[in-house]
Amino acid sequence: MIKYLGLLTVLLVSAHSYANDPLNGTLWKTIDDKTQKPMSIVKFTENRNGTLSANIQKVFESSQAQKCTKCVGKYQNKPLIGANIISNLKSVGHNKYTGGHITDPQTGKTYKFNATLSENGQILKGRGFIGVSALGRSQTWHRVP
């Protein structure tokens, strides 16, 4: 009986680990779509409801590292490091994500956000937009090993 309980425990733990989203716990270097310069490192975490969020771990330009003066809500005038910039991102399968929101710390504006993870898991292409996706901006982020 104890052997069966041990086996059941191992199976449940491994099934739970397998259920985690591939973005969960990963770090990404964000690249400015206009200048092509690295802006920050963000980390994705999976929330209890299965959606993903991402917060800033590192900022490359020291002028941006101070405070999020243009953010609204709980991150206003707070350090950028630790600020949540992506929320409610949902996996819809086949490495596609929709329904999220992204906040641009430079402007303080929040946009709808969709993303696609490359087959090899090393590139994340995201699109922030208002209304329809055609009216937005795209960024390509690179996974940090």
> Could you list the pLDDT tens digit for every one of the 145 residues in the chain?
555 444 444 444 433 434 589 999 999 999 988 889 999 999 999 999 999 999 999 998 766 557 887 777 777 888 889 989 999 999 999 999 999 999 988 888 899 999 999 999 999 999 999 988 888 999 999 999 9
User: How would you class 70 by CB atoms within 10 Å of its CB: exposed for 0-12, middle for 13-18, buried for 19 or more?
Assistant: middle
Contacts of residue 110, Cβ cutoff 8 Å, sequence gap at least 6:
101, 102, 103, 104
- Say how far apart CA 74 and CA 135 lie, in whole Å: 28
Q: What share of the chain is helix, strand, coil (3-state, %, to 5)?
A: 15, 45, 40
* Whether the Cβ atoms of residue 44 and residue 26 lie closer than 8 Å to each other: yes
Give the model's pLDDT for residue 28.
Answer: 98
* Whether the Cβ atoms of residue 79 and residue 56 lie closer than 8 Å to each other: no
Give the model's pLDDT for residue 1.
Answer: 55
The structure's pTM equals 0.80
Give the model's pLDDT for residue 23.
Answer: 96
Retrieve residue 7's tokens. Answer: 């086996």
Give the model's pLDDT for residue 7.
Answer: 41
- Say how far apart CA 105 and CA 8 lie, in whole Å: 46
Query: What fold does the segment set 22-144 form as a domain?
Result: Lipocalin (2.40.128)
- Say how far apart CA 145 and CA 142 lie, in whole Å: 9
